[in-house]
A and B are shown apart, each in its own frame.
Chain A
Amino acid sequence: MTATANTPTVRHTRVPTPKTASPSNRLRAWATRAPLLPALIFMIAVTQLPFVATLVISFFDWNALYPDARSFTGFGNYSEVLTDPDLRKSVLTTILLTATVVLASLVLGLGLALLLNRRFKGRGLVRTLLIAPFLLVPVAAALLWKHVLYNPEYGLFNGLLHWVGGDSAAQPDWISDTPLLAIEASLVWQWTPFMMLILLAGLQSRDSELIEAARMDGASNWQVFRHLTLPHLRRYLELGALLGSIYIVQNFDAVFTLTSGGLGTANLPYTVYQSFYQAHENGLASAAGVLVVIGSIIIATFALRVVSSLFREEVSR
């Protein structure tokens, strides 16, 4: 099977270089390329062109309420964004929010995946229950946390405290007291199932013979986990962290719904949204947007390397 899968790859690399290609060869090369073009052109038009426009706008001092006062300002917006304490804080908030949610949901997801990898009664049903948070529409999930769980007067959390502790039980105002933690908890709840699913798929692709052999040699559960399971799961952990980061860095729904960016919870996407949609500061918003992109490129350079190693294994399989 491996041999047949590899043959075409080998053959393609031996095809003579295009330098000596005859017109008919070139035509064939274009024929294989052509199906790609519609998707490629569409992506460039809809994603790259607007970004170039953002880049251009970011060099202008431009408030939409005073369209006539538009002027070139060079890197003025950038220095303003970088020195504005609120914006610097939203950079930190974004990093903190993303790191906390990705790490916590990875660890919880790993625990759940290990539990679900065992046979027990009703495993399918438990898996279905666990997936549900990930499938709720993000705004609906945020509303659920804001009104049904966190509400200080009739939320479930304080209701449970009331039940357990009686009338004198503490009734904290979760969102006001710990705003960032409140957002993080709701996002960890939503993303743990996703991590669990990826890691569970990883666990089920383990080589069971190898584990059995290790057990025969007297390896303990912990030794098997530490030296066989964890190294095998590394790629899946990386994949989960990568995909989770892509989505949580861009999170808008939870921040917008739970706190509307107040109480020090505004992350970069929310800040950019606010600075052009509410403050009409087009130049500043664009500069902040470009900075988000630079940050993402730094993450992506690392992340793409991870994916490309996954992909290479896929091709050589």
Chain B
Amino acid sequence: MKNARGKGIGLGLTAWLAGILFFLPIAWMALTSFHSEEDAATNPPSLAAPLTLDGYRDFFGTGGGASPWPSLINSTVASLASTLLVLVLALPAAYALSLRPVKKWTDVLFFFLSTKMLPVVAGLLPIYLFAKNTGLLDNIWLLVLLYTSMNLPIAVWMMQSFLAEVPRPVVEAAQIDGARLPTILTRVVAPIALPGIAATSLICFIFSWNELLFARVLTGVVAQTAPVFLTGFITSQGLFLAKVCAASLVISLPVLAAGFAAQDKLVQGLSLGAVK
């Protein structure tokens, strides 16, 4: 009995050790972001170096260099607008699909998922040429459309599984009372499926915020997003290590905060609602 308890404590400690090991790079990055550039670039690393906000001041442009604000605003606009558009398109589609779980409808569902398996590079060149010829290059709204297409299949799948849990008699009662689709969706279905809809929105937001390939190819100066701004640090060879760390953390902050707040929903959503 005593032996089993000892083993339990040992496994608990192993879990703690694994957690700390996985988190260590991020913790180290956070510490480095508060060091001066000289202290950040020492070997062996100095734990006791004085803390400073210089890295963050440099990042926000008060210490010279390009301001990250336009890119942060672009990312916010692109992520929020595309999430909204995904919801407007996916909610009715998922509603129709969840009401009819028969053969033909699963085919439609699979079509949505299969578009997710079509690699981004398969359509990138025509989209680039189209944007170039229509003057939509470096336009944030083109990204909004593309991010919507990127997230719509996932959203339809997730919401389909969430909406399938709405009790059918409730919907049927509303139909008998003569309610039309928009009313049913907003008054009956949405309140019940709200946690699922929130999870869907969160995941669409995260994927849009993180996206690099489309943004890199299709934006330039005006519509640059935060990940594209970060690529400016790729070749800096660590000359501004504290600044790189501060930038990476600030730009990751919305995703980190949202993800921590909704850990369970995140799994359910990422596994397309298949894992409950």
A residues whose Cβ falls under 8 Å from a Cβ of B: 8-9, 12-13, 32-36, 38-40, 42-43, 46-51, 53-54, 57, 112, 115-116, 118, 120-123, 125-141, 143-149, 151, 153-154, 156, 158-160, 162-163, 189, 192-194, 197-198, 200-202, 205, 236, 239, 243, 246, 249-250, 252-253, 256-257, 260, 268-269, 272-273, 276-277, 282, 285-286, 288-290, 292-293, 296-297, 299-300, 303-304, 307-308, 310-311, 314-315
Contact = CB atoms under 8 A, between A and B. Distances in A.
Contact of A154 (B146, B241, B274): B241
Contact of B113 (A125, A149, A304): A304
Interface residues of B, number: 107
A137 B121 contact: no
A133 B252 CA distance: 11
Contacts of B41: 153-154
B269 to A, nearest CB: 11
Interface of B: 8-9, 11-12, 14-16, 18-20, 22-23, 25-26, 28-29, 32, 40-45, 89-90, 92-93, 95-97, 99-102, 106, 108-130, 145-146, 148-149, 152-153, 156, 161, 164, 168, 181, 206, 209-210, 212-213, 216-217, 226-227, 230-231, 233-234, 236-238, 241, 244-245, 247-249, 251-252, 255-256, 259-260, 263, 266-268, 270-272, 274-276
DSSP class of B's interface residues: helix, strand, loop or mixed? Answer: helix
A87 B275 CA distance: 38
B233 A143 contact: yes
A276 B129 CA distance: 11
A293 B122 contact: yes
A43 B32 contact: no
Given A154-B43, A257-B234, A140 B252 contact: yes
Contacts of B95: 35
Contacts of A57: 125-126
27 contacts: A35-B96, A42-B148, A46-B145, A49-B126, A50-B122, A115-B14, A120-B8, A122-B16, A126-B15, A133-B22, A137-B209, A140-B247, A140-B249, A147-B236, A154-B40, A156-B25, A197-B270, A201-B267, A246-B116, A252-B212, A252-B213, A257-B234, A260-B234, A272-B124, A289-B125, A300-B114, A304-B113
